Amino acid sequence: MKAWRALSLLLLVLVLVLVGGRPGAAQEADPVPAANPPAAAAADPAGEAAGADLPVAIEVTLGFGNKVPQDGFLSLAVDLTNRGAVTNALVTILAQDGGNVLLRLGPVELEATARRRLVGVVPARPTLEAGALIVTVEDAAQGALLGQATVHPEGAPARLLVALDRRGGAPADLSSLRTLEAGSDTRWTAVITTRLEDLPQSPLGYSGLGAVLLGDLELEAWPDAEARALAAWVARGGHLVIPVGPRARLLRSRSLLGRHLGTALRPLPDAPPERDVALDGLLRRLRGTFGLDAGEAAPAAPAPAFAALLPSPEDLVLLRAGERPFAVRRRHGLGLVTLVAADLWAPPFLHSPVTARLLEALLTDGPVHTPRSRLLFKELAGVRQPARVGPAFAVLIIYALIVGPGVYFVLRARRRGILLWVAIPLGAAVCTALVPLYRIVLRDAESTLVGVRLIEGWSGQPTSVETTDALLFSGSLEPKRFEYVGADAVAFSVVPPRRRGAPDLGAALAAGPDGLAFSLPVALWGTRYLSFEASGGPPGAEGAVHLRFPDLAEDAAAEPTARLRLRWDGPTLRDAFVIYPAGPGPLGHAFGRDLSPGTVVDEVARSTSPQSLGARESDLGGLVTGQLLAAHFLPAVGRERVAYLMGLVESPAPLRALPNVRTRAFATVVAIELPVVFENAVPYGVARATREGSTVGAVGSGSVEREVRTRLLLPGGAGRQAARVRVRVTAQRVRSVHRLRLDAFDWRAGDWVALLPREEGEEERDGLTRRVDLSLDEAPARFVSDDGAVLLRQRFTRARQDTDEANVAQLDVAVEWVEPE
């Protein structure tokens, strides 16, 4: 009988196993509430057909042109068409691989037969890694599935250039845009957007883009949110190219975008454009520069509208059409605005091959939008915050002692050892009954927050950029509410890097024009890293660093003497110091005192190693300052030849977290970029170079002789006389640099003076790189124009299909000025 019972039980188990398996069923215990459709069903090709039977139809638009950038964020728009009754709907977008919820929208009321658009922002990299995105619409109250769609994101293989223009097409063939940046070839993908409703409402929606080309897209009708989003993105590191043409007045006075761009449009006066301006000379130079001057070109149509551009001294004129500035670049916060006088969608640029090359030239060396949280994360995320696990462990240890040796020895003393089998379970049950009381302890437990706020500004600019990063440690089970005050504020989470490298961007959490507030679940004893970005007011510093160099002829790498002249009007700046470029590397100067509001500084810098400035192991501000110096500001000083005033301020944190969250440490770091004035000399690496090329003639059937002119603009050189001029020629070539053909323009004689080729001389070699310094000793002042430019010319022969970059040498100039009496 017992055998039959055993067999029956076995059969029952086998039946249970078989019955328990259901094909295609989801076995979910997903903690994400409500929005969790079976991954198997979503991956099923028939899943989309099944969605057609549901009452809500879904259309999803990802980013610009459904192209997903490789980094940053992208906007996501969900268009819902309700074919059923009125309902309150919640939209969830989650990744097919892993089931991560990328975005939740709503709840929103969907009226019957109505269409509703919801927009949000999702992080780019998780979207690409998701495999596919599953978009579900559920009844917010009952959780019933109302609509479902699957989206397969398409990654953009290159940097994205988004053109905003209602005309629907690009001004020229932009399918093979390439720029050379930091020695590497960068490809671009161009996308056209023609509708205002496709524009992001958050600056994060632009964060994955390389640049935006603003054409004619109903500038007067831009909603406030979209205008603020684009302006804020530019200030935080975006690159906006504006072919103005006839739209100067529209942009300046009738467009919210123009209002929010503010001083970025200073070179653009509120004036009508010039009409029918001939640009043959410019086009000829551009064709020559871009190697498009083979053969005779037909006369170009005049530009129907040519905007007047009035660059300030701090602006950079990239191109001129005769005497008129044609392309002017202006710094705006961390980003750039490039104004082009003519409309690229109009003659002579429309459908011209020159236009694509012109855009490449304008996009080269543009800013790359990178969240500052990537700089702050390493130090801040490493801050350990203790968890209140002591009470729990204490109780459990006491329990172990009692039910183990405690009960045993007590019972053994009473010769009742057999009762262990009752005492131990009883003890376990009693302790289990007491455990829920721990929840009361947790309910009142404190959470802590550490944060850093980085304020970046630029001397003389009215705007600043604020990045506030916070690491929250949760000591309780409740969700946390965050409140942040700031203009055009955005918030997103940051997660640690999977491998060595920069941390990854997590979900976008909120955005708001004047601040934001949101709730976020944080696991007990878990941490969340959040980053907030906002626009700020004037940084409170004006001034410059004046550098005076010793005799550069003796030592080209000699350290200059720096004189700091600045005024500080911000809150008291503690541990203030300045870093500035000097010779081979940056140097620093610590003020040794706090800078109170209204402080005027005029002192000679005591040159010190910048690595020791501001960095302190003892507090958060010092740690972060040291990290920022090493990771960003010191390299920027060496690269951009600018100076920075840095320090710590005591200011109330713009961030508040509730409930029961104590701020353990919060540091505010200020970094103000100061211009550098080269008083008596301009060393190598400072002059800004622009290049134009032209074809001199054909050499045989496969080669051409090219002429490349390099114009080196010396800062502060207008109206000054050069006492000494040296030219540095650097090239990667097998043969000696002395064999190049290089001429310098004599502005007084109006003719070229040959510098190379010449007899063999001293030449530095570093691998394939050869470098030679030429001293223009005979009347060097003649080589510097009245506006402080040195013009050099190279001639070489190359194959038709080659580019100039492979053949032209890098030119740099160092000048010493005549001292005024």
Partner 1 sequence: MARSPDAAGAKAPAEDEPYRAAWIFDNPSVGRALRYTFGDKRLARAVFINSLLLIVALAAIQEAFGRGQLGLFSDRISYGRMAFLGLVTIEAVILSILAPLGLVNMFEAERREECFDQVVASGASPHRVVFGRFAATLAFLSVVLFSSLPFFATMIVLDGATFGQVALAYVVLWTYALAVTSIATACAVGFDDAALPVIIGLLALGLTLAMGFARRTPPVFAAWSPVRHVVLGMDDVAQDLRLGAFPPPQPYGLDVDCALLSVAMYVVFTLLGLAYAFVGPDIELTEGLDSFDSVSISRKQEATRARRGVARTLLRAVQLRFFYENLGPTARALSPLIRAAATVTIFAGAHVVFLGALWPHTAPRAFDEMAARLVTPYLAFAGLTMCLLALAGGGARASLLARAPVLRLGPAALGRFAALFLIMAFALAVPALLWALATSLSGYAPEVMFAPQVRGLYLLAAGYAAYVFAVALLLAMLTTNPYSATGWALIALFASNLTPAIWVPLFTGNLAGEGSAFLLDLSPFVAGYSIARPEDAFPFSTFQGDELVRYTHTPSWRPFALVHTVVGLACLSAGLALAWRERARALASRAEPPPAPAPAALATVAAEAPEPVGAPEPAPDPEVA
- Interface map 775-804 toward partner 1 (x if CB under 8 A): ------------------------------
Rounded to an integer, what distance in angstroms lies between the CA atom of residue 8 and that of residue 48?
A: 45
Q: Which is nearer to partner 1, 158 or 502 (CB)?
A: 502
Q: Which stretch binds partner 1 (CB under 8 A): 84-92, 234-242, 389-397, 722-730?
A: 389-397
| 403 part of the interface to partner 1, by CB under 8 A | yes
Q: Which stretch binds partner 1 (CB under 8 A): 382-390, 565-573, 665-673, 809-817?
A: 382-390
Among 221, 428, 806, 818, binds partner 1 (CB under 8 A): 428
| 294 part of the interface to partner 1, by CB under 8 A | no
Q: Which is nearer to partner 1, 396 or 698 (CB)?
A: 396
Smallest gap from Cβ 390 to partner 1, in A, equals 11
Alpha helices in 89-170 (DSSP H): 124-129
Q: Which stretch binds partner 1 (CB under 8 A): 172-180, 221-229, 519-527, 704-712?
A: 519-527
| Amino acid at residue number 492 | F
Q: Which is nearer to partner 1, 101 or 558 (CB)?
A: 101
Q: 699-722 in b/e burial notation, b at 16+ Cβ within 10 A?
A: eeeeebebbbbbbbbbbbbeebeb
Q: Around 593, how many Cα atoms within 13 Å sit in the side-chain half-sphere?
A: 7
- Residue-wise DSSP of 355-385: HHHHHHHHHTT------THHHHHHHHHT---
Judged by CB under 8 A, the chain residues 526 through 585 that form the site for partner 1 are: 526-529
Q: Which is nearer to partner 1, 522 or 657 (CB)?
A: 522
| 432 part of the interface to partner 1, by CB under 8 A | yes
Q: Which is nearer to partner 1, 169 or 404 (CB)?
A: 404
DSSP classification of residue 249: H
Q: Which is nearer to partner 1, 372 or 528 (CB)?
A: 528
Size of the site for partner 1 (CB under 8 A): 76
Whether the bond between 107 and the residue before it is cis, its omega within 30 degrees of 0, is: yes
Q: Which is nearer to partner 1, 498 or 735 (CB)?
A: 498
Smallest gap from Cβ 105 to partner 1, in A, equals 18
**Do 213 and 164 contact (CB within 8 A), yes or no?**
yes
Among 206, 484, 492, 525, binds partner 1 (CB under 8 A): 525
Q: Which is nearer to partner 1, 275 or 412 (CB)?
A: 412
Q: Which stretch binds partner 1 (CB under 8 A): 3-11, 343-351, 662-670, 683-691?
A: 3-11
**Do 258 and 219 contact (CB within 8 A), yes or no?**
yes
Reported as type and span, the H/E element at residue 696 is: strand 688-699
Q: What is the residue whose two structure tokens read 């969240």?
A: 371
| 392 part of the interface to partner 1, by CB under 8 A | yes
Rounded to an integer, what distance in angstroms lies between the CA atom of residue 106 and that of residue 140?
A: 9
List Cβ<8 Å contacts ≥24 apart for 385-392: 385/448, 385/450, 385/471, 385/473, 385/527, 385/664, 387/473, 387/475, 387/525, 388/441, 388/445, 388/475, 389/525, 391/438, 391/441, 392/438
Judged by CB under 8 A, the chain residues 86 through 125 that form the site for partner 1 are: 97-100
Smallest gap from Cβ 528 to partner 1, in A, equals 7
| 49 part of the interface to partner 1, by CB under 8 A | no
Smallest gap from Cβ 74 to partner 1, in A, equals 20
Q: Is 108 helix (H, G, I), strand (E, B) or coil?
A: strand
Judged by CB under 8 A, the chain residues 433 through 452 that form the site for partner 1 are: 435-436, 438-439, 442
| 384 part of the interface to partner 1, by CB under 8 A | yes
Among 405, 597, 635, 697, binds partner 1 (CB under 8 A): 405
Q: Which is nearer to partner 1, 191 or 470 (CB)?
A: 470
Q: Which is nearer to partner 1, 100 or 690 (CB)?
A: 100
Q: Which stretch binds partner 1 (CB under 8 A): 132-140, 410-418, 590-598, 622-630?
A: 410-418
Q: Which is nearer to partner 1, 408 or 752 (CB)?
A: 408
| Amino acid at residue number 135 | V
Q: What is the residue whose two structure tokens read 């949110």?
A: 225
Radius of gyration in angstroms for the set of CA atoms belonging to the chain, rounded to a whole number: 33
Among 196, 284, 378, 408, binds partner 1 (CB under 8 A): 408
**Do 400 and 244 contact (CB within 8 A), yes or no?**
no
Q: 432-460 in b/e burial notation, b at 16+ Cβ within 10 A?
A: eeeeeeeeeebeebebbbbbbbbbbbbbb
Rounded to an integer, what distance in angstroms lies between the CA atom of residue 812 and that of residue 821?
A: 28
Q: Which stretch binds partner 1 (CB under 8 A): 141-149, 244-252, 523-531, 764-772?
A: 523-531
Q: Which is nearer to partner 1, 500 or 735 (CB)?
A: 500
Nearest to 576 by CA among 495, 652, 670: 670
Among 60, 368, 431, 487, binds partner 1 (CB under 8 A): 431
Judged by CB under 8 A, the chain residues 156 through 195 that form the site for partner 1 are: none
Q: Which is nearer to partner 1, 64 or 529 (CB)?
A: 529
| 43 part of the interface to partner 1, by CB under 8 A | no
| 410 part of the interface to partner 1, by CB under 8 A | no
Among 354, 407, 595, 808, binds partner 1 (CB under 8 A): 407
Smallest gap from Cβ 427 to partner 1, in A, equals 8
Judged by CB under 8 A, the chain residues 15 through 34 that form the site for partner 1 are: 16-17, 20-27, 29-32
Nearest to 179 by CA among 136, 239, 121: 239
Judged by CB under 8 A, the chain residues 193 through 232 that form the site for partner 1 are: none
Smallest gap from Cβ 500 to partner 1, in A, equals 14
Residue 32: which region, alpha, beta or left (left: phi > 0; alpha: psi -120 to 50)?
beta
Judged by CB under 8 A, the chain residues 470 through 499 that form the site for partner 1 are: 477, 494-496, 498
* 676-678: strand order across its sheet: 599-604, 561-568, 541-548, 676-678
| 391 part of the interface to partner 1, by CB under 8 A | no
Q: Which is nearer to partner 1, 401 or 779 (CB)?
A: 401
Smallest gap from Cβ 660 to partner 1, in A, equals 17
Contacts of 369 (CB under 8 A, 6+ apart): 72, 206, 207, 209, 233, 236, 237, 238, 334, 335
Rounded to an integer, what distance in angstroms lies between the CA atom of residue 605 and that of residue 589?
A: 5
184-193 and 159-164: which strand pairing?
A: parallel
Q: Which is nearer to partner 1, 124 or 714 (CB)?
A: 124
**Do 521 and 492 contact (CB within 8 A), yes or no?**
no
Smallest gap from Cβ 477 to partner 1, in A, equals 6
Q: Which is nearer to partner 1, 421 or 700 (CB)?
A: 421
